[in-house]
Chains A and B, each alone.
Chain A
Amino acid sequence: MISVQRLNKTYHTRDGNAINALSDINLEITQGEFITVVGPSGCGKTTLLKILAGILGKTSGDILVGGTVLDGPSRQLGVVFQEPLLLPWRSILENIMVPIEIQRRSRTEFEPKAHELLELVSLSGFADKFPNELSGGMQQRVGIARALIHDPDFLLMDEPFGALDAMTREQMNLELLRIWGERRKTVLLVTHSIPEAVFLGDRIVVMSPRPGRIAEIITVDLPRPRRLEMINSEDFGNYVKRVRSHFGSEGLD
Chain B
Amino acid sequence: MTIVTARTTDRGMMTSFKSSPEAGLSVLLFILLIAGWEAAVWLFSIPSILVPPPSAIAQALWANLTTARFYTHVGVTLWEIVAGFAIGSSVGLIIGVVIGQWKLLERTVYPYVVAFQTVPKVAIAPMIVIWFGYGISSKIVITALIAFFPVVVNCIAGMNAASPQQVEMLRSFTASRWQVFRMVKLQSALPYIFAGLDVAVVLAVIGAIVGEFIGAQAGLGYLLLQRNFSMDTAGSFAILIVLSTIGMILHQLTNTVRKRVVFWAERDERLATETT
A83 pairs with B170, CB closer than 8 A: no
Given A132-B267, A132-B271, answer yes or no on A55-B173 (Cβ-Cβ < 8 Å): no
On whether A132 and B264 interact (CB within 8 A), knowing A81-B165, A87-B187, A102-B179, the answer reads yes
Option from A53, A81, A102, A150 in Cβ contact (under 8 Å) with B175: A102
Binary CB contact string for chain A from 74 to 115 against chain B (1 if under 8 A, 0 otherwise): 110101010101011100000000110111000000000000
Interface string of B180-220 (1 = CB under 8 A from A): 00011001000000000000000000000000000000000
Partner of A88, one of B170, B173, B264: B264
Q: Which chain B residue lies CB-closest to A79?
A: B172
Nearest A residue to B267 by beta-carbon distance?
A132
Number of A-B contacts (CB under 8 A): 58
CB distance from B241 to the nearest CB of A (A): 39
The docked-state distance in angstroms from the alpha carbon of A175 to that of B184 is: 30
Q: Write the nearest CB–CB distance from A97 to chain B, whole angstroms.
A: 11
The CA of A22 and the CA of B88, in the complex, are separated in Å by 51
A73 interface residue per 8 A CB criterion: yes
**Contact residues in A for B171 (Cβ distance below 8 Å):** 54-55, 73
Q: Are A103 and B268 in contact (CB under 8 A)?
A: no
Decide if B183 touches A98 in the complex (CB within 8 Å).
Answer: yes
> B165's closest neighbor in chain A, by CB?
A85
Measured between alpha carbons, how far is A132 from B272 in the docked complex, in Å?
11
Q: Is B174 among interface residues, defined by CB-CB distance under 8 A?
A: yes
In the complex formed, the residue of B with least CB distance to A132 is: B267
Verify if A247 is at the interface (C-beta below 8 Å from B).
Answer: no
Task: Please indicate the chain B residues that have their CB under 8 angstroms from the CB of A130 in the complex.
Answer: 264, 267
Q: List, in ascending order, chain B residues with CB within 8 A of A83's CB.
A: 165
Whether B168 is near chain A, meaning CB under 8 Å from some CB there, is yes
Interface residues of A in 231-251 (CB under 8 A from B): none
B174 touching A75, Cβ below 8 Å: yes
Known contacts A85-B169, A102-B173, A102-B179; 4 additional CB pairs below 8 A are A75-B174, A87-B166, A132-B271, A150-B173
| Residues of chain A having any CB pair with chain B under 8 Å | 53-55, 72-75, 77, 79, 81, 83, 85, 87-89, 98-99, 101-103, 130, 132, 150
A-B contact pairs, 30 of them (CB 8 A): A53-B172, A54-B172, A55-B168, A55-B171, A73-B172, A73-B173, A75-B174, A79-B169, A79-B172, A79-B173, A81-B165, A81-B169, A85-B163, A85-B166, A85-B169, A87-B183, A87-B184, A87-B187, A88-B265, A88-B267, A88-B268, A89-B187, A89-B262, A89-B263, A98-B170, A98-B173, A98-B183, A101-B179, A130-B267, A132-B271
Instruction: Across the A-B interface, give the 3 residue pairs with the lowest CB-CB distance, nearest first.
Output: A99-B173, A88-B264, A79-B172
